[in-house]
């Protein structure tokens, strides 16, 4: 070696003369790199195809160490699968032909035949079925016609021995060389096998078999088993809800099995950008190449809102539709795997396990509903491809049950979980009212509140709108009390037995509730009396008594709109609002209450003392909200008692007030009109 080196050093021209040449270093050859079929639909998981060629030929023997990927300039941890096309593919088709798959069997056969057609000339396939028995319908062969004929003759019957069938397929694949794959489909949970999912996964990994699994319209808990078998053996998993989707799924699996290019996958670190730039570099020894693509990308908001939307009211045994809405609207290019729990009162409504998808994000796709407890339904959406740009996620039927009185039924969403891009959820509840009838109960106050300084103020809190004795009712209401008055006393009214109503004063708030479901004693409607002590100050006292909120039930729906309030004026010891009428001037009525069944009329009695003989008066009727209904009399009245008729006629049932006014005073009488 030393002698040769010396000769080469001393006589470089000698080699030329002898026709020999020194070795020349090889020039690096550029690689032709192409990024194709970028799939963002499973974001943040992104997949793509990477084809690497040199001189027009696919480069063999590449692995993850040869690839570098930047997404928007950020280095990604890349997983690469590069098949070796010099090896044949051995594919076992493991087909569920149990009785339950009968309707989908024609499409399953068609899809399987297309997969067979897509295999290369040297690739081979076998058919294993499981239904009434587990058996090899056709051993491994490259004869596509023979395989397709066997597929055409399949029928459906029997149970589901899924795991035993996969084990049999693995045992058949064990005797094959090359790339080993099993394509497995089922529409039901295994109910016959002696093997377990763990047995299947262990055996497949031991024999280097990739399991590609298809869950056809099965429950979420068994979908997880199918997903595990695929993921833990290096295969792919699909959930299919319609037979028409099978062909597309089998074509995707065929592409994976026979693909000569590499398949890349990475988990992106963001879900927000709507455009992504992928820069892929491939280095193989001294050769290298790169490709860059910039593509629009679907995205998912970091925050979403799930809202329950149910009918405002339902009559007993009536059925309506509720919806769960999502905001913002999901991207049409991003699959949606989402689950949440709907909570409601099962004693008041029933929700059949039949989701409603027409006109929603999930249209014509399977949504799983499972009853996980009393009044708790779990909705599961698995790899839903949004059908339209709408906020309506999924619908559900709601049937009102019979209750002893009207009820408000709240609905709320809990425990929302999403797969893929993380999302923080805000859940907005809703409620429906089961209405036994359509007459509204309401809180009412007397319309006039002017009081002398030395008198305590006794204010009846009435329930108006057509109360009925013998019918169960419930009440819960809150009133705002004057904040600067301490001398306030609450006493039971005439509507209920004293033990049937409770109250509590907290600061300037009075909360009143009935003790469960109670029966009214009469229809006068006075729930409680609020008594405010005399005004010991010098100035006129002004304050409002108003309703903050109310829930009133007696076969009737609560009234919508503004809550009533009562404006109160009370004389001071030095300041006066008006000169008060002497006790002799009075106003009353009989009968009270008066009813539509007896003509809807009452007589208003006005008594004028001798000292007021010939006084000018005006007699008006106001409703419980203080609105003027009509004037019964205007003019002078002589000494004595006068009877003035009031015909209520078609006026709604409730509280009315007869107000007698003179030039400097007013006197009122509260009347109750019932139907």
186-190, 361-365, 582-586, 610-614: segment of lowest average pLDDT = 582-586
**Residue 85 pLDDT > 70:** no
Q: What is the mean pLDDT of residues 6-18?
A: 40
Over residues 421-475, the pLDDT tens digits come to: 889 999 999 999 887 765 567 888 776 567 778 888 888 998 877 777 777 788 8
Whether residue 561 is predicted with pLDDT greater than 60 in this model: the reply is no
Q: Rounded mean pLDDT of 650-672?
A: 83
Distances (CA, A) of 117 to 246, 446, 635: 15, 86, 104
- For residue 638, what pLDDT is reported? 92
Give the fold, CATH level 3, of 442-570.
Immunoglobulin-like (2.60.40)
Burial 25-50 (b: 16+ CB within 10 A, else e): eeeeeebbbebeeeebbbbeebbbbb
Asked whether 607 and 487 are in contact (CB, 8 A), the reply is: no
| pLDDT tops 80 at residue 563 | no
pTM score of the predicted model? 0.52
Average pLDDT over residues 279-291: 93
Q: Phi, psi at residue 85, to the nearest 5°?
A: -65, -10
Long-range contacts of 454-459 (CB under 8 A, 24+ apart): 454/534, 454/535, 455/534, 456/531, 456/532, 456/533, 456/534, 457/531, 457/532, 457/533, 457/568, 457/570, 458/529, 458/530, 458/531, 459/529, 459/530, 459/531, 459/532, 459/545, 459/566, 459/568
pLDDT at 16 over 50: no
Interatomic CA distance for residues 35 and 40, integer angstroms: 14
Q: Could you tell me which CATH number the domain at 586-674 has?
A: 2.60.40.1930
Whole-angstrom distance between the N-terminal and C-terminal Cα of the chain? 125
Considering the chain, what percentage of its residues have pLDDT values greater than 70?
91
Mean pLDDT of 499-505: 94
Least confident of 193-202, 327-336, 503-512, 557-566: 557-566
The least confident of 24-33, 42-51, 236-245, 501-510 is 24-33
Residues 266/69, Cβ–Cβ less than 8 Å? yes
Average pLDDT over residues 466-485: 83
pLDDT of residue 304: 95
Q: Say which CATH topology domain 89-260 has.
A: Rossmann fold (3.40.50)
Cα–Cα distance measured from residue 88 to residue 257, given in angstroms and rounded to the nearest whole number? 10
Asked if the model's pLDDT at residue 290 lies above 80, the reply is yes
Question: Does residue 174 contact residue 157 with C-beta atoms inside 8 Å?
Answer: no
Domains 332-433 and 586-674 share a fold: yes
For the segment 591-611, the average pLDDT, to the nearest whole number, is 88
Q: How confident is the model at residue 81 (pLDDT cuts 50, 70, 90)?
A: confident
Average pLDDT, whole number, for the chain?
86
What are the extents of the domains in the chain?
32-41+52-82+265-294, 89-260, 332-433, 442-570, 586-674
Instruction: Report pLDDT for 141.
Output: 96
Grade residue 11 by pLDDT with cuts at 50, 70 and 90. very low
Q: Once rounded to an integer, what is the mean pLDDT over residues 276-295?
A: 94
Residue 232 has a pLDDT of 93
Measured CA to CA, the distance from residue 485 to residue 508 in angstroms comes to 9
pLDDT value of position 27: 52
Question: What is the separation of C-alpha 445 from the centre of its chain, rounded to a whole number of angstroms?
Answer: 41
**Integer CA distances (angstroms), 432 to 64, 310, 340, 344, 403, in order:** 57, 6, 20, 10, 14
Say how far apart CA 364 and CA 358 lie, in whole Å.
7
545 in Cβ contact with 478 (< 8 Å):
no
Does residue 294 surpass a pLDDT of 70?
yes
**Class of 332-433 in CATH:** mainly beta
Q: Is 426 helix (H, G, I), strand (E, B) or coil?
A: strand
- Averaged over 114-131, what is the pLDDT? 91
Instruction: Specify the pLDDT at position 21.
Output: 44
Asked if pLDDT for residue 583 goes beyond 90, the answer is: no
Residue 26's pLDDT is what?
Answer: 47
Name the 3-class secondary structure at 221.
Answer: helix
Residues 6+ apart with CB under 8 A from 513: 475, 476, 501, 502, 503
Q: How confident is the model at residue 536 (pLDDT cuts 50, 70, 90)?
A: confident
Q: How confident is the model at residue 560 (pLDDT cuts 50, 70, 90)?
A: low
Per residue in 361-420, pLDDT tens? Answer: 999 888 999 999 999 999 999 889 899 999 999 999 999 988 777 788 999 999 999 988
**pLDDT, greater one: 279 or 468:** 279
What is residue 389's predicted lDDT score, i.e. its pLDDT? 92
pLDDT digits (tens, 9 = 90+) for 207-234: 999 999 999 988 777 888 999 999 999 8
Q: How far is it, in rounded angstroms, from Cα 540 to Cα 342? A: 54
């Amino acid at each position: 070696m030393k002698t040769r080196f010396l000769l080469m050093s001393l006589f470089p021209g000698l080699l030329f003369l002898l026709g020999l040449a020194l070795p020349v270093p090889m020039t690096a050859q550029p690689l032709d790199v192409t990024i194709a079929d970028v799939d963002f639909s499973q974001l943040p998981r992104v997949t793509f195809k990477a084809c690497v060629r040199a001189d027009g030929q696919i480069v063999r023997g590449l692995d993850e160490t040869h690839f570098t990927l930047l997404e928007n300039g950020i280095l990604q941890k890349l997983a690469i699968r590069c098949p070796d096309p010099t090896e044949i593919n051995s594919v076992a088709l493991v087909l569920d032909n149990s009785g339950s798959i009968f309707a989908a069997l024609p499409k399953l056969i068609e899809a399987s035949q297309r997969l067979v057609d897509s295999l290369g000339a040297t690739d081979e396939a076998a058919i294993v079925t499981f239904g009434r028995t587990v058996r090899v319908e056709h051993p491994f062969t490259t004869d596509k016609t023979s395989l397709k004929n066997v597929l055409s003759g399949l029928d459906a019957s029997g149970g589901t021995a899924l795991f035993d069938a996969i084990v049999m397929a693995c045992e058949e694949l064990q005797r094959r060389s090359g790339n080993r794959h099993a394509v497995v489909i089922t529409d039901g949970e295994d109910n016959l096998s002696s093997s377990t999912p763990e047995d299947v996964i262990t055996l497949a990994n031991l024999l280097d078999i990739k399991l590609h699994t298809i869950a056809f319209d099965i429950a979420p808990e068994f979908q997880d088993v199918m997903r595990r078998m695929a993921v833990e053996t290096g295969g792919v998993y699909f959930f299919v809800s319609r037979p028409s989707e099978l062909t597309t799924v089998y074509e995707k699996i065929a592409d994976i099995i026979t693909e000569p290019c590499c398949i890349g996958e990475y988990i992106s670190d963001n879900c927000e950008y709507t455009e992504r730039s992928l820069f892929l570099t491939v280095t193989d020894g001294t050769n290298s190449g790169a490709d860059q693509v910039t593509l629009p990308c679907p995205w998912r908001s970091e925050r979403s809102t799930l809202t329950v939307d149910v009918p405002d009211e339902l009559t007993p045994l009536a059925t309506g539709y509720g919806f769960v809405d999502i905001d913002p609207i999901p991207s049409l290019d991003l699959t949606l795997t989402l689950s949440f729990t709907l909570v409601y009162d099962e004693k008041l409504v029933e929700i059949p396990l039949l989701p409603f998808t027409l006109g929603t994000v999930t249209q014509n796709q399977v949504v799983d509903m499972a009853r996980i407890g009393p009044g708790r339904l779990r909705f599961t959406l698995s790899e839903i491809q949004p059908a339209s740009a709408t906020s309506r996620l999924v619908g559900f039927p709601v049937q009102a049950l019979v209750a002893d009185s009207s009820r408000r039924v709240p609905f709320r969403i809990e425990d929302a979980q999403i797969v893929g891009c993380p999302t923080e959820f805000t859940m907005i509840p809703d409620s429906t009212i089961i209405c036994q009838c359509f007459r509204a109960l309401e809180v009412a106050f007397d319309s006039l509140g002017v009081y002398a300084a030395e008198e305590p103020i006794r204010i009846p809190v009435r329930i108006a709108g057509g109360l009925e004795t013998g019918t169960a009712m419930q009440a819960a209401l809150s009133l705002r009390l004057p904040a600067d008055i301490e001398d306030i006393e609450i006493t039971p009214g005439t509507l209920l037995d004293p033990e049937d109503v409770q109250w509590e004063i907290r600061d300037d708030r009075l909360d009143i509730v009935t003790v469960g479901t109670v029966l009214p004693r009469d229809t006068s409607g006075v729930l409680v009396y609020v008594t405010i002590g005399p005004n010991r100050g010098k100035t006129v006292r002004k304050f409002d008594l108003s309703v903050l909120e109310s829930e009133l039930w007696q076969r009737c729906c609560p009234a919508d709109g503004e809550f009533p309030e009562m404006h109160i004026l009370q004389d001071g010891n030095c300041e006066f609002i008006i000169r008060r009428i002497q006790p002799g001037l009075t106003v009353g009525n009989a009968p009270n209450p008066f009813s539509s069944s007896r003509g809807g009329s009452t007589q208003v009695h006005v008594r004028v003392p001798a000292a007021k003989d010939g006084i000018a008066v005006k007699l008006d009727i106001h409703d419980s909200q203080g609105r003027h209904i009509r004037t019964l009399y205007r003019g002078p009245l002589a000494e004595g008692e006068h009877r003035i008729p009031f015909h209520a006629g078609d006026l709604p049932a409730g509280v009315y007030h007869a107000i007698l006014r003179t030039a400097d005073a007013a006197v009122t009488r509260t009347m109750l009109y019932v139907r």
